[in-house]
Structure 1
Amino acid sequence: MRADRLVSLVLLLRQRGQLTADVLARELEVSTRTVLRDIEALSAAGVPVYAERGRHGGFSLLPGFRTELTGLNHDEALALLTAGSGRGERVFGLGSALASAMRKVVDALPESHLTAANDAAQRFLFDPETDLLSRRLDVEEVPKETMVEVRQAVLAGHKLRLRYASRGQAPRRCVVDPIGLVTVRDKGYLLATEAGTDRTFRMSRVLEAYELPEPAQRPDNVDLERVWAERCAQFLSEGHIAVQVRVNPARRDQLLDMAEAVRAETPDADGWLRLEVTFQDLWHAEWAMWQLDTDAESLAPPELRSALHQRARAVADRYRDRP
């Protein structure tokens, strides 16, 4: 790990020029004392790093200290720079690793590729935080320590001890056999088994995670895409409510953002869309349909139409003209 940190330190100085020990410590997620020891180690190894003292001082490398990686073409370099932008650093808690990898790639690119790729990457925006309707994406934060423990157990094939809080329930402790990690629209899920039973854990609800030394009981090879599809089908068949709805095409995406899943979609005669969608429960369906105002109509089930009618009457009564 120290060797990798030393490489990252050199690349930071190569790409940014003079940096203070405090800035280097923040970038490398270590203490200032560790940075100073690493600087001494680099100097002893013959790396041309030197210090400038004073208020505006810092550490620098002599110009020209670099290597080149000539195996990448322009499109490959562009793909790497684009993938490293946006919110990719949050995937599976690999932010610092991605930052380190991008520094190495950028430093190793030939100047001809680097300039062209950087100019081109400015023309691409990958997965921004808001859409055209100015709605911010719902990003679930997972503590780094939790994600590291889960990720290590998944890769090493070890059991996990979790403290987990399901929605609307008190936290519980369990020991699981991890199968894999899945991220969908910035939401992370751990696929696992508990005492031989399939379990899907939402990472934002994992309160504590500890990797255990015991090997996990799981197959050596796994088709994670197939397992995820099976879990999704199982999830939609348990305790959810199916709703038939007509919606103005202009509000279709908003409806889909609020629904759990879409089971069917067909155009209606008047240009609207007719969909069958699923929600968590009746309250969730009522809340979602209310957000769409008169741009949507619930066709079934009857209890949802009744709930919306009662809510509309209550709102109308509240805003009736007073004497």
Structure 2
Amino acid sequence: MRADRLVSLVLMLRRRGRLSAATLARELEVSTRTVLRDIEALSAAGVPVYAERGRHGGFALLPGFQTELTGLNHDEALALLVAGSRRGAQVFGLGSALASAMLKVVDALPEDYRDTAADAAQRLLIDPETDLLSRRVAAEEIPDTIVAEVRRAVFAGHKLRIHYAAVDQAPKWRTVDPIGLVTVHDQGYLLATMSGADRTYRLSRVMAAEELDEPAQRPDRVDLDRAWQQRSTQFRTGGDQVAVLVRVDPARRDELTATALAVRSEETDADGWLRLEATFQDPRHAEWALWQLATNAEALAPQWLRTSLRDRAVAIASCYEEAP
């Protein structure tokens, strides 16, 4: 275990530069005292790690230090093999590259690791293409040429021209400063800014893309997880949100609250049903959510939602009227 931790410590310093003892302890899930002992062990073994004092100090490797750290333990090899079954690489156009990398990793493993890791990987399945009801998970179709152009601009830090089709709008060209790529449930997104304002683009709606030579206006470092959380919050609190007063069967409450943006109030009626005031992204979202619950929920307000649900029900009922 300690040998693995020492290797991880050196790799972190090589990749990220100077790091404090507290940061190293948090990343390695050990105490700062353990980190200090590990630093001493590395120094004794001839690894040129040194300490920098001061408020922004920490530990770093001498510039230009190189070493071969190719050893993988069984769990690390298994993690790489399992990663090969995930479809995120497909979203970003890296499917063939990942498959090639997996072959190289497997070939480099010691023979005993290779056999046991491959056998263990066969017993783990991540994100299958269908669920228990045999419903096929819809994967986005994104041309490799488009996603490759987007990916190059993101990695190179260049501006990007995209021909983008927003919802209910005709496609138009936009020049953006790409920040990063995110995949959520097999859906790819480009995080960018345009004229300094945050923008999020669905990759499947990019009709064409062109990397430009001009450098992108963006920070050198980015916390994509934090950026995504901020975009998610903006999405939930923006747009044409609507508040709906609804009665719902307690057995279906969780289905309603899972799709709503927020539940502002909740109380129990005399018959045991729940009366909730819920917020939805827009009118279409509210109508869709209530329709899924059929007669297990009733929209009480606003009136336009009641009318819309009634008209939809009447239209469907008329399709199934018995012939005279």
The TM-score normalised by the length of structure 2 is: 0.67
| Range with bigger deviation, 289-298 or 177-186 | 289-298
Structure 2's unaligned 5+ residue stretches are 1-68
**Alpha-carbon distance in structure 2 between the residues aligned to 1:120 and 1:271:** 48
**Are 1:291 and 2:292 counterparts?**
yes
Count of residues in correspondence between the two structures: 251
Does the aligned pair in 2 maintain the 1:70–1:110 contact within 8 Å? no
| Equivalent residue number for residue 110 of structure 1 | 110
Equivalent-residue separation in structure 2 for 1:70 and 1:174 (angstroms):
43
Q: Corresponding residue for 2:21?
A: none
| Aligned mates of 2:192, 2:285 — CA distance in 1 | 27
**Counterpart for residue 303 of structure 1:** 304
Maintained 8 Å contact 2:179/2:193: yes
In the alignment, the residues of structure 1 paired with residue 92 and residue 213 of structure 2 have an alpha-carbon distance, to the nearest angstrom, of 21
Q: 1:285 offset after TM fit, Å?
A: 2.9
What secondary structure does 1:93 align onto?
coil
CA-CA distance at 1:276 after TM superposition: 3.4
**Aligned partners of 1:197, 1:70: CA distance in 2, in Å?**
42
Structure 2 SS opposite 1:305 = helix
Tell me by how many angstroms 1:213 deviates.
0.6
**Contact between 1:89 and 1:99, CA under 8 Å: does it hold in 2?**
no
Going from structure 1 to structure 2, the CA distance change for 1:298 and 1:145 (only over 3 Å counts) comes to: same
1:101 partner letter: A
**1:190 — aligned with what?**
190
Q: How big is the shift at 1:263?
A: 2.3
State the partner residue of 2:3: none
Q: Supply the AA of the counterpart residue of 2:133.
A: L
Deviation at 1:291, TM superposition (A): 3.4
Identity of aligned residues (%): 58
Tell me how far apart the structure 2 counterparts of residues 219 and 91 of structure 1 sit (CA, whole Å).
25
In the alignment, which residue of structure 2 is the partner of 1:276? 278
Distance 1:181 1:93 in 2: 12
Query: 2:241 touches 2:279 (CA, 8 Å); kept in 1?
Result: no
Residue of structure 2 in register with 1:167 after alignment? 167
* 2:218 aligned partner: 218
Residues 121-130 or 87-96, more deviating: 87-96
Other-structure match for 1:76:
76
- Partner amino acid, structure 1, of 2:178: P
The one-letter code of the counterpart of 2:312 is R
Moved more, 305-314 or 246-255: 246-255
Is the 8 Å Cα contact of residues 91 and 140 (structure 2) preserved in structure 1?
Answer: no
State the distance in 2 between where 1:310 and 1:148 align.
Answer: 46
Question: Shift of the alpha carbon at 1:118?
Answer: 1.6
In the other structure, the counterpart of 1:89 is 89
> Structure 2 counterpart of 1:115, which letter?
D
Code of the residue aligned with 1:132 in structure 2: it is: L
Shift of 1:217: 0.7
- Match runs of 1:1-323 below 5 Å: 71-236=71-236, 237-243=238-244, 246=248, 249=251, 252=254, 256=258, 259=259, 262-264=261-263, 276=278, 278-279=280-281, 281-316=282-317, 319=320
Larger CA deviation: 147-156 vs 80-89: 80-89
**TM-score of the pair, normalised by structure 1:** 0.68
- C-alpha displacement of 1:105: 0.6
Matched residue type, 1:82: V
Assess if the C-alpha contact under 8 Å between 2:265 and 2:278 holds in 1.
Answer: no
Distance in 2, Cα, partners of 1:168 & 1:243: 24
Moved more, 264-273 or 299-308: 264-273
Contact kept in structure 2, 1:247 and 1:273, CA below 8 Å: no
Q: Which residue in the other structure is 1:54 paired with?
A: none
**Change over 3 Å in CA distance of 1:317–1:168 after alignment to 2:** closer
Is the contact made by 1:70 and 1:109 (CA closer than 8 Å) also made in structure 2?
no
Is the CA contact 1:248–1:296 (under 8 Å) kept in the aligned structure 2?
no
Deviates more, 1:109-118 or 1:146-155: 109-118
Q: Give me the whole-angstrom Cα distance separating, in 1, the residues matched to 2:284 and 2:305.
A: 9
Aligned-residue offset at 1:127: 0.6
Question: Against the structure 1 CA distance between its residues 159 and 76, is the aligned structure 2 distance closer, same or farther, given a 3 Å change threshold?
Answer: same
SS of the equivalent of 2:226 reads: helix
Partner of 1:21: none
Residue segments in structure 1 that go unaligned for 5+ positions in a row = 1-68
What is the CA distance between 1:234 and its match in structure 2? 1.6
**Contact 2:257 2:263 (8 Å CA) reproduced:** no
